[in-house]
Structure 1
Amino acid sequence: MSNLIGLDKKHFIHPTSSIQQQQEKGAKVIMDKGDGIYLTDKDKNVYIDAMSSLWNVNIGHGRKELAKAAAKQMEKMAYSSAFSTFSHEPAIKLAEKIAQMTPDGLNAVFFTSGGSESNDSAIKLVRHYWKIQGKPERRNIISLRRGYHGVAAASTSATGIPEFWDMAGHMVSGSIHAKSPYGIGTEQAIDSLRQVIDEKGAETIAAFLAEPIQGSGGVLIPPADYFKKVREVCEAYDILFIADEVITGFGRTGKMFGMENWGVIPDMMTFAKGVTSGYMPLGGVVISDHIHNVLKEKSKGTLFHGFTYSGHPTAAAVALKNIEILEKEGLVENSREMGEKLLEGFHFIKKELDIIGDVRTTGLIGAVELVQNPETNERFPAELQVASKVIEALHERGVICRPVTYENTDIICFAPPLIINETQVHTIIEKLHDAVRSVQQQLGDKH
């Protein structure tokens, strides 16, 4: 282990991590194997993976069916390019399957290697869509504050979390941010959207981009009428609507795709994560028939956009098997049912403890907010790092979760694998209760 820690510090630059922390303390954990909802580290400590790692291991760890699907495809043909109209069966069948699963009118798929690439691709495609129709001035992308869309150039700029801009600044011009409905409601959020459109001019707006639920922003679930109102605004101004389903797709919200919870059909849908449950890197953009028809009619010559691994045959074969398991095992329905149990547990903890504010779930994506005063929603001073303390307490109790502290919030996020059962949900609730109670006592509460 000490050798691995030393090598990690010397050679491995970790994504979204503190380099100083790594150099001072080494890797927090070195994982060794996964089974179901559990991960085991090199010291044989077992953890509940209550985040599906990065919101993505939907069918759970250690599924041999996916390993067999990958091996079978690798033995036959591990990789073949999809450039210059070359094609292969796994990508064709996966595109067909995704078209069957997505809402009506979304039938053509551009494949990528992950979520950041998917959102970058969607932004380039909508700009191309307007350009070939003689409207190159339509380049601006409206997204939401607290939204997260990835770390590639355009997706970083579309992300509405300033911490992600601080590293290297805005990489791409034309990204503007309207207010999220979180904490202000539909009316004010729609007013903000209209204001942004009026300020920039509708004739300069290419698309509106949003997650059905803002995951990395803190599992921010919109009011029931928000996206219907957004859709009305987009149609009124002839603005395309892109749904970022990277986290919410493939059963996470108790529906196959998150936007189905609000009965809204976007013009484009980006996906990644749950399409392979993390077993292979894969993502994509699904576009509407209308957009596809415009591309077919007016996009002359080569579409100069693509990745080496667009439509990777082994990744596509794994995705097909992953989707088969999602459907065969009823995991979308299980997500809905277990999400309700998780929410019941959150409400129980809220009644029992004194520092729990809002609790929420939609399917198996949920959050618990920690506040100084639940009645007024008064937040803790940032320097107390309450969410980080609870995360550490959960880690000590064998649960891996994620904190969100943007804008002085203390939010604990949950997104366990969709295979989780009721007993396992109860275990998470018990450990969360114990962890929050211990931090509450550290803060000086004697209840």
Structure 2
Amino acid sequence: MSNITENVSTEQLKELDRKHFLHPTTAIKQHQENGPTLIIEEGEGIYLTDINGNKYIDGMSSLWNVNVGHGREELAEVAKEQMKKLAFSSCFQGMSHEPVIRLAKKLSTLTPGDLNVSFFTSGGSESNDTAFKLVRHYWKLKGETKRTKIIALKRGYHGITVGATSATGIEQFQNMATAQAPDFIHATTRFKTDCELGDRTDSDFAGSVRGVIESEGADTVAAVILEPIQGAGGMFIPPDGYLQAIRDLCDEYGILMITDEVICGFGRTGKMFGVDNWNVVPDVMTVAKGITSAYSQLGAVIIRETLRDELSELSDGMFFHGFTYSGHPVACAVALKNIEIIEREDLVSNAKQMEAVLKKGFEYLEEKYPFVTKTRAIGLLAAFELYKDRENEIPFDPSLAVAPKLVQECLKRGLVVRPVIFEGSNTIVMAPPLTTTKEQVEEMIQIFDDSLSAIEKSICEK
């Protein structure tokens, strides 16, 4: 078997990358000046190996998505066998095939409540755009044509297609778009349960979801979308009762509730889905990432059976929405095997057990370093923040780039994690594979310890 690097040196590969590859979510000028950060060649378990033979712990599951870890040969085998049998067949015009049928049924056994009907996409952004289109179509069919508005949360992340970017409550992503899609509104008050329950005495009430609904008019709102745990925006865990308050609020005003489980789904939080931590059933759930552990591109929009039945009753015509790769047979076969691995190896429980190990390690870091604070973890989704004065929540000067510096120090020591620096924050987020062991978590904590020690003097003197 030929190697990708055959007859091409590392330096030549770097130069080819620099000249011909426009990287996603990357500083273009920096890439043009320096070339690729790493060129990864292999993955095995929780580890990545670059083209120079350097080994790294994949503390982010790459993009929060390699849930069962790298190098799973049985996933490659099932993809190969499905390609040999049926590489592709359209699902348009009522056509179907066994893998998509089996996957849709399997998902119905995993999701809460009567979320039993799946529409398949190629990823998270497509799933969320589909959800927006679907709920607006639903209200149009019901004759409530003013119900077009989608309410999302500040610092929520929902993807990078036009609709998904418009729902994303992170300014940097919105600024990339020349224009925002209409009728997307952001609640700026995050996680204030009392406001959502109707307490109007809070000074931030107007920015709550309830405040936005009352301001805009409930009869103009199609849906509320939120992540059970905000991921890319900084890994924020809602307080107990918050998701239920949003569920009750949506029920009160007859608004549909969408939960974005693209990161949280398939065991990441120590439950199969993020909402399972609070026993909440949305009307629509969007998934991707962990559904195949990134071994194939797949996403889904999972809706309540009653919603599908209403759509059926309200319209006899064509459902004019579908992607070429909706229900791709190879991706569906891989998803089925991936879910089998998650269940067989009890990886959801392992994620919950590793949460306790992470929290213990974070407590140690918080005790040792006076600038480490707000440590948090739910399953294998975790974060901590860096403050110049944590008692008074005084941040570091943004020019110090404290979080990016720490991430670089971790990388030098063989750990890949991610900085979040939106709105002047210095947050470190991590989401290692669900196969991670106690010893591997402790190794990550030791790398954090060494890396924090390396930057401590320089940042504390500023």
Mapped to 2, the partners of 1:127 and 1:277 lie a distance apart of 30
Mapped to 1, the partners of 2:85 and 2:267 lie a distance apart of 30
Mapped to 2, the partners of 1:239 and 1:435 lie a distance apart of 47
Q: CA deviation at 1:271?
A: 0.1
Q: Deviations over 1:261-287 (max 9, x none)?
A: 111110000000000000000001000
Question: Are 1:95 and 1:109, in contact at CA under 8 Å, matched by a contact in 2?
Answer: yes
1:170-249 equivalence runs, <5 A:
170-181=179-190, 185-188=192-195, 191=205, 192-249=208-265
Q: Secondary structure at the match of 1:347?
A: helix
Q: Are 2:171 and 1:155 equivalent residues in the alignment?
A: no
Mapped to 2, the partners of 1:107 and 1:43 lie a distance apart of 47
Q: Secondary structure at the match of 2:396?
A: coil
Question: Are 1:108 and 1:288, in contact at CA under 8 Å, matched by a contact in 2?
Answer: yes
Map of 1:13 onto structure 2: 22
Equivalences, count: 444
Question: Are 2:261 and 2:287, in contact at CA under 8 Å, matched by a contact in 1?
Answer: yes
Mapped to 1, the partners of 2:292 and 2:332 lie a distance apart of 8
Q: CA deviation at 1:188?
A: 4.6
Report the more deviating stretch, 316-325 or 166-175. 166-175
Question: Are 2:196 and 2:249, in contact at CA under 8 Å, matched by a contact in 1?
Answer: no
Mapped to 2, the partners of 1:125 and 1:69 lie a distance apart of 32
Match of 2:75 among 66, 81, 86: 66
One-letter identity of the residue aligned with 2:385: E
Q: Secondary structure at the match of 1:80?
A: coil
Map of 2:150 onto structure 1: 141
Mapped to 2, the partners of 1:329 and 1:147 lie a distance apart of 31
Question: Are 2:64 and 2:263, in contact at CA under 8 Å, matched by a contact in 1?
Answer: yes
Q: Deviations over 1:99-157 (max 9, x none)?
A: 11000111000000000000000000000111111112100000000000000111000
Question: Are 2:154 and 2:190, in contact at CA under 8 Å, matched by a contact in 1?
Answer: no
Q: Are 2:184 and 1:168 equivalent residues in the alignment?
A: no
Q: Deviations over 1:393-426 (max 9, x none)?
A: 1011110000001111100001000000000000
Q: Secondary structure at the match of 1:207?
A: strand
Map of 1:333 onto structure 2: 349
Map of 1:428 onto structure 2: 444
Q: Are 2:358 and 1:351 equivalent residues in the alignment?
A: no
Mapped to 1, the partners of 2:150 and 2:460 lie a distance apart of 46
Q: CA deviation at 1:301?
A: 1.4
1:31-70 equivalence runs, <5 A:
31-70=40-79
Structure 2 stretches lacking a partner, 5+ long? 1-9, 198-204
Mapped to 1, the partners of 2:237 and 2:423 lie a distance apart of 17
Q: Secondary structure at the match of 1:367?
A: strand
Mapped to 1, the partners of 2:352 and 2:43 lie a distance apart of 24
Q: Are 2:285 and 1:276 equivalent residues in the alignment?
A: no
Map of 2:435 onto structure 1: 419
Map of 1:125 onto structure 2: 134
Q: Secondary structure at the match of 1:341?
A: helix
Mapped to 2, the partners of 1:60 and 1:171 lie a distance apart of 36
Q: Secondary structure at the match of 1:393?
A: helix
One-letter identity of the residue aligned with 1:295: L
One-letter identity of the residue aligned with 1:223: P
Mapped to 2, the partners of 1:5 and 1:95 lie a distance apart of 42
One-letter identity of the residue aligned with 1:361: A
Q: Secondary structure at the match of 1:118?
A: helix
Q: CA deviation at 1:168?
A: 1.8
Structure 1 stretches lacking a partner, 5+ long? none
Q: Are 2:391 and 1:375 equivalent residues in the alignment?
A: yes
Match of 2:332 among 316, 322, 329: 316
Runs of 4+ with >4 A deviation:
none
Q: CA deviation at 1:169?
A: 3.4
Question: Are 2:41 and 2:51, in contact at CA under 8 Å, matched by a contact in 1?
Answer: yes
Report the more deviating stretch, 433-442 or 308-317. 433-442
One-letter identity of the residue aligned with 1:156: T
1:245-264 equivalence runs, <5 A:
245-264=261-280
Map of 1:111 onto structure 2: 120
Mapped to 2, the partners of 1:145 and 1:181 lie a distance apart of 7
Question: Are 1:47 and 1:398, in contact at CA under 8 Å, matched by a contact in 2?
Answer: yes
Question: Are 1:243 and 1:270, in contact at CA under 8 Å, matched by a contact in 2?
Answer: yes
One-letter identity of the residue aligned with 1:193: V
Report the more deviating stretch, 172-181 or 361-370. 172-181
Q: Are 2:400 and 1:384 equivalent residues in the alignment?
A: yes
Mapped to 2, the partners of 1:94 and 1:59 lie a distance apart of 18
Mapped to 2, the partners of 1:189 and 1:441 lie a distance apart of 44
Match of 1:410 among 420, 426, 436: 426
Map of 1:29 onto structure 2: 38
Q: Are 2:88 and 1:79 equivalent residues in the alignment?
A: yes
Map of 1:95 onto structure 2: 104
One-letter identity of the residue aligned with 1:69: V
Q: Secondary structure at the match of 2:69?
A: coil
Question: Are 1:178 and 1:189, in contact at CA under 8 Å, matched by a contact in 2?
Answer: no
Q: Secondary structure at the match of 2:301?
A: strand
Question: Are 2:284 and 2:302, in contact at CA under 8 Å, matched by a contact in 1?
Answer: yes
Mapped to 1, the partners of 2:404 and 2:17 lie a distance apart of 23
Q: Secondary structure at the match of 2:174?
A: helix
Question: Are 1:339 and 1:361, in contact at CA under 8 Å, matched by a contact in 2?
Answer: yes
Q: Deviations over 1:76-102 (max 9, x none)?
A: 011110011110000000000001100
TM-score relative to the length of structure 1: 0.98
